[in-house]
Structure 1
């Protein structure tokens, strides 16, 4: 059984999808889960639900693209148990925009949330994790950090490829300090974000290229994240784990 009862875990984008499933997993493992999101209603509702079930949870407003917002979050959780875990899950995705049709505004928004937000998060937790004697950072990348997909989503590919590379750089930087950094690469997961705008052509291609023949669930990704957050993965840093139903094996 995964045991995280000695500290606090931040989950960005924690109000829904993979983030919400991860918040539940980490809370069940004993962590005080901080649901950090811009979705005030969803975040507060989830935190309250977890508390009603006997788990330790709170909600904090966070804009991952803003340094000041990260500073406010870290200041706001000082009274909680030591910070042991950061799950950089917040992100956005689009369907269709390719190397020619992507716009500057679309590119900048994608990079700001999916890439810059991950870097700011890692930087923000460095000091409290050092003070706690170490910790685990899990960055959500994607199978599209590694493969070309369908020749679309150029900005998404760029942002998630950067997350993959930044994870390895940070892992080396902190390797002797007890701060581990790993990336999780989901395939096509049935979340509200991924299902929004999914047409029959894309769904057919996705399922046809996934050996298991189905989309994954948020809970299946959350289980891997919880493992990386725990002492069971103590000798893992700079690693990348694919939760993709075999998509990248084809």
Structure 2
């Protein structure tokens, strides 16, 4: 039986780290992509190994084409042919209205959240497509409920980048279905992760809980289970789907 070799971007923290730990426990071999925090990535790798799995950490700026190529080369060289990609890495900027945002922040969010996702998905297709000699596989894009809510007054640019991810998911799923590749997305709502601190509001997840029908923000592990399902044999007829995991929002 073919083993699962999965690349996770943004795997050192939050949803990415929770997903890596869950997939590792489920038998996936993992490449944990991270941008800066090697220690955090190494802790995730150690947890996977302690659970009996195999994992390796790899620094990557997903907006850099050469870095993305290297990420997938590490996967194939160290673990074997890639069978899955969790496109998870993302950044945001300080909360506030679009009119007050810096151009550099707009560019950075789009470079990582759109260009980076496209580069990683393109590289995954090249590795997994049956028409290119691969064995097929699965791509799961981590989107956001912000794609349809718009995030007014907070980060409209981030919401726009996630709407692009949803469109990419639907289009790419149709494009590569005949090549043995399924493409889906998970759209989390507000989740307790470090991204809120990087936006200048570390308590945001708790603060906005009253807006969520379930009355609370989510936990990274709850999103990880949705991602894991798309990668599982139970989801073999799911492609082009955007699964909202947002507490009712």
TM-score, reference length from structure 2 = 0.91
Aligned length: 243
Query: Is 1:44 aligned to residue 42 of structure 2?
Result: yes
Which blocks of at least 5 consecutive residues in structure 2 are unaligned? none
The root-mean-square deviation of aligned C-alpha atoms, in Å, is 1.8
Q: CA deviation at 1:133?
A: 1.9
Aligned 8 A contact 1:5 1:31 in 2:
no
| Matched position secondary structure for 1:60 | strand
Write the distance in 2 (CA, Å) between the matches of 1:77 and 1:202.
34
Q: CA deviation at 1:5?
A: 6.8
The counterpart of 2:4, out of the listed 1, 4, 7, is 7
Aligned 8 A contact 1:114 1:159 in 2:
yes
Query: Is 1:20 aligned to residue 17 of structure 2?
Result: yes
Query: Is 1:81 aligned to residue 67 of structure 2?
Result: no
Query: Is 1:212 aligned to residue 214 of structure 2?
Result: yes
**Structure 1 pair 108–27 and aligned structure 2 pair: CA distance change class (3 A):** same
Query: Is 1:99 aligned to residue 101 of structure 2?
Result: no
Write the distance in 2 (CA, Å) between the matches of 1:137 and 1:84.
9
**Structure 1 pair 200–67 and aligned structure 2 pair: CA distance change class (3 A):** closer
| Matched position secondary structure for 2:98 | coil
Q: CA deviation at 1:226?
A: 0.2
Aligned 8 A contact 1:13 1:35 in 2:
yes
| Matched position secondary structure for 1:161 | helix
Aligned counterpart, 1:243: 245
Write the distance in 2 (CA, Å) between the matches of 1:154 and 1:190.
20
TM-score, reference length from structure 1 = 0.91
Aligned 8 A contact 2:72 2:82 in 1:
no
Q: CA deviation at 1:52?
A: 2.6
Which blocks of at least 5 consecutive residues in structure 1 are unaligned? none
Aligned counterpart, 2:52: 54
Which 4+ runs in 1 deviate beyond 6 A? 199-202
Q: Deviations over 1:49-75 (max 9, x none)?
A: 321332111111111010000111222
Aligned counterpart, 1:198: 201
Q: Deviations over 1:109-156 (max 9, x none)?
A: 000111111000001111221234211100011001111233431210
Q: CA deviation at 1:165?
A: 0.7
Write the distance in 1 (CA, Å) between the matches of 2:203 and 2:195.
16
Q: CA deviation at 1:46?
A: 1.8
**Structure 1 pair 132–95 and aligned structure 2 pair: CA distance change class (3 A):** same
Aligned 8 A contact 1:102 1:154 in 2:
no
